Chains A and B, each alone.
Chain A
Amino acid sequence: MNGKEYIESLRGLNREVYFLGRKIKNVVDEPMFQPHIHTAAMTYELAHEPEYQEIMTAVSHVTGERINRFTHIHHSIDDLVKKVRMMRLLGQKTGTCFQRCVGLDGLNAVYVTSYDIDQKYGTDYHERFRDYLLQVQENDWMPSGAMTDARGDRSRRPSMQQHPDAYLHIKERLDDGIIVSGMKAHITGAVNSHEILVMPTRTMSEEDADFALSFALPADTEGVSYIFSRQTNDTRRLDGVLDGGNPKYGIVGGEAVIVFKDVFVPWERVFMAGEYDFTTELVETFAGYHRSNYGGCKVGLADVVIGGSNWIAEAHGVERSSHIVDKLTDMIAMAETCWSCTLACSYEGHKTPSGAYNIHPLLANVTKLNITRMVYEWMRLAQDIAGGKIITLPSEKDLENPEIRETLFECFAGKQGFSPLDIIRMLRLIENMSVGAGLPEAMHGAGSPAAQKIMIARRSGIEKKMELAKTVAGINRDDYFERIIGKDETTHWNEVKKKLRGRETEIY
């Protein structure tokens, strides 16, 4: 499927979507949704361009056919590395979130976990999932990854919530499937995906077994509805072209609340139903994949905003000022630090019992933690370089008004050779990327910083580090040191002290 075909494929889905108090009848042609649809379309389009196929496609381990990498199960270190290269590439091409990685990470996480559930319980979730995966690959579907529940009172477990639908759960088990209800919040790409892949949002305990749930459904299944979320300056899309900043591709991923009201899911589409002891594995596996992505996609965005900042500096005639060069260099160093992290967590990946490859979880969490800080910092520097105009520019409508148009162009002119309109265009892009919803998205997408710190602390191997310190400090026996000196440490240090006794008088 190429980009255009992807957009057309969405027309066949008749889903219930609400936005700004209205029911949206035509999702594909809705101006508020179109930038997000264009961005997702890029994940299809580039897979058909020979110059990007090496990264954008992979060979399916199920069929041996070449497929879009967004439907692929990673089967080597090279797959993990190419995945993050694909993220950076798409960030560079769109300057925003291209949405499709959530489903990709969901496919891989459910693949890994369903295998492990079957090993323990003798269930057939993995076989069901492989059948589903085959459909995803053959149809080149985009599933949205629906993980985060509404969650209500965070101090109470899912089964203890006042509102039962705060977490998506099984209401009834039937011979041919299950009935589910509940809500998933801020789900990326939800209104322009073909499918929904549901996963639990947290570790569940025995009393929460009905909330330990994973399944997939067509996006327009009866009983499923969507409420599209607002983003910074979103209605500027209705005011024209220029003021949107990135009118082609928008800002962040186009998130939505997904409501499930007594929805039937056939067993062949259920991949976890009550195995609460595997919820941690599923959540952590998904989070690891997803956190690693941020060192790719956000660095692609950094490439765009660094380029834009340098262009603006040139347009304003300050590109050689030492403080500008210094700021741009800092932006580049931070972006490449995050890139190094994501490459490292891919190269340090490993094979799972299912045969699929997983990233290095500790390094993936370090990647994301850096992103939660560094995106703010490089966007702050972009604002610094661009100047206050990024928040004081007049509207596109004023630029089109013949009475004031020329005055405004004089006001916003720069160095000779740079058109005022282009300068305004670039400032709007920097405004879109550095002032808007992209910042908290870098903070909270794939989990908030505290979640990364929990994982980092859990996987740091602190006990082993203490043993290292104890050995170097001389508390533990140091076998290798003793081999080097050819005797035990106590004897060695007694001999050293004896030698020092003679030298003390020489020094003092």
Chain B
Amino acid sequence: MYTIGLRYCGGCNPQIDRTRVVKDLREGLAKLQTAVDITTDRSRAVDLLLLINGCEHACLEEDYSERDGPIISVEGLMVDRRPVEEDDIPDILIRKILDMMSSSSH
């Protein structure tokens, strides 16, 4: 099973509803019947890290800047530093996750 490590920033003044983004992401992946396990357990080894930052400052990116391995970062109204609409974030994440899953299986 492909495992995604989910990390939330502290959520002090978010531009987006972080939990709704993750809820919609989970539902979207479930609809596609994608075999993905999303976990917040920091002790587990993961294939991909998903950082949910509430704003562009993206506090989590500093914490994981040294990490060796794939990362997708939501930075408020940006994903991987590309401006996005809040409602589009779950679909963008699904596309990115599917791409990463397919490249890791090759």
Residues on A close to B: CB < 8 A? 348-353, 360, 461, 464
Contacts and interface: CB of A to CB of B under 8 A. Distances in A.
B106 interface: no
Contact of A348 (B57, B61, B75, B82): B57
Contacts of B13: 461
Contacts of A348: 57
Interface of B: 13-15, 55-58, 61, 75, 81-83
Contacts of B56: 350, 360
20 contacts: A348-B57, A349-B57, A350-B55, A350-B56, A350-B57, A350-B58, A350-B75, A351-B58, A351-B61, A351-B81, A352-B81, A353-B81, A353-B82, A353-B83, A360-B56, A360-B57, A461-B13, A461-B15, A464-B14, A464-B15
Contacts of A351: 58, 61, 81
A455 to B, nearest CB: 15
Nearest to B83: A353
Contacts of A353: 81-83
Chain B at the A interface: mostly helix, strand, loop or mixed?
Answer: loop
B14 to A, nearest CB: 8
Nearest to B76: A350
Most buried by A among B15, B55, B57, B58: B57
Nearest to A479: B19
Nearest to A461: B15
Nearest to B14: A464
A114 to B, nearest CB: 16
B56 to A, nearest CB: 4
Given A350-B58, A353-B83, 14 more contacts: A349-B57, A350-B56, A350-B57, A350-B75, A351-B58, A351-B61, A351-B81, A352-B81, A353-B81, A353-B82, A360-B56, A360-B57, A461-B13, A461-B15
Nearest to B75: A350
Contacts of A352: 81
A100 B61 CA distance: 32
Nearest to A467: B17
Nearest to A352: B81
B84 to A, nearest CB: 12
Shortest 8 CB-CB distances between A and B: which pairs? A350-B56, A353-B81, A350-B57, A348-B57, A351-B81, A461-B15, A353-B82, A350-B58
A461 B15 CA distance: 7
Nearest to B56: A350
A360 B56 CA distance: 9
Nearest to B16: A464
Most buried by A among B13, B56, B75: B56
Contacts of A461: 13, 15
Contacts of B14: 464
Nearest to B61: A351
A351 B57 CA distance: 7
Nearest to A116: B83
Contacts of A349: 57
B63 to A, nearest CB: 14
B89 to A, nearest CB: 15
